[in-house]
Amino acid sequence: MEEVKFKRKGELVKDDEGNLLLVNELNEAYRVDEVVAYIWSICDGKTFNEVAVELASQGEVDIEEVKPPLQDLILKLRSASLIE
């Protein structure tokens, strides 16, 4: 992935049942788990590699293990207008 700094968009909220939701600027809500919410929260102002390093260190796994699923998630967050 290109080394641009991500800009987080939208907001993280909890619904009445306690589910985590990421809501974009078009008011479209996506139910997410704690891991996705955490990754979204650390993206702001960081590059892909910076996010991958932080995620790998938190999970105590090799950075190369986190890159493919992280890239998929970043693409989904971009397509949902939750990061740019």
User: Please, what's the b/e burial string for 30-68 (b: 16 or more CB within 10 A of its CB; e: otherwise)?
Assistant: bebeeebeebbebbeeeebeebbebbbeeeeeeeeebbe
Structural domain contains residue 6: no
* Residue 8: count of CB within 10 angstroms of its CB: 18
Q: Name the domain count of the chain.
A: 1
Whether 84 maps to a domain, the answer reads: no
In a domain, 45, yes or no: yes
In tens digits, what is the pLDDT along the chain, a chain of 84 residues? 558 899 999 999 999 999 999 999 999 999 999 999 999 999 999 999 999 999 999 888 999 999 999 999 999 999 999 999
In a domain, 68, yes or no: yes
CATH number of residue 39's parent domain: 1.10.10.1150
Q: Is residue 28 part of a domain?
A: yes
pLDDT at 2: 55
pTM (predicted TM-score): 0.90
Provide the residue range defining the domain that includes 43: 11-79
Check residue 17 and give its pLDDT.
Answer: 96
Amino acid 70: pLDDT: 96
Residue 2 covered by a domain: no
